[in-house]
Structure 1
Amino acid sequence: MKEKLQSIDNKWLRLVVLAVVFINTAGMVLGYQLLPFDNEQITSGLTIGALFLSEIWNHWKNNSYTESAQIADRILKDDKENKKSRFK
């Protein structure tokens, strides 16, 4: 999975997002409403999206789901216990 995520080149995604934002901004300046949403709906949608992504990110980063992460947790716990016993 990690190799797959590293192989994804996000330059095309960034280009598409930039193009959509640019076209929408240019339309707003010229007096057109290209997206069928008002500012409050966009704000609400972005807030919900940010909340969802931050919840997933925080939950994933603070919990060891993979086997390698669980092994690393055990190694770290053993290392901390060994350091405590050396300094007693």
Structure 2
Amino acid sequence: MKNHGKLNATLLTPAYWEKYHLSDGVTFANQFQAIDTQDLPENDRKQALDDLLKAMAQKGYNNPANSLYVLYSAILVQRN
């Protein structure tokens, strides 16, 4: 995981989303963790994160009014 601060690291954990009973947050955080723990070449990692972000956007989580937007944003930071 790229080091972008303690808050982003917290948001990227499934436990954070379990605490708020947001199952999609848990699912997407788990998917992020699975990608992040792999030793992927940079382009493959970016593609995997792009695919994850697209899946989140299809559910509307790229909308700032959505509660999972902060997770979307944290993953976007990790992608860049």
TM-score by length of 2: 0.30
Give the helix-richer structure, 1 or 2: 1
Which entry has the higher C-alpha Rg, 1 or 2?
1
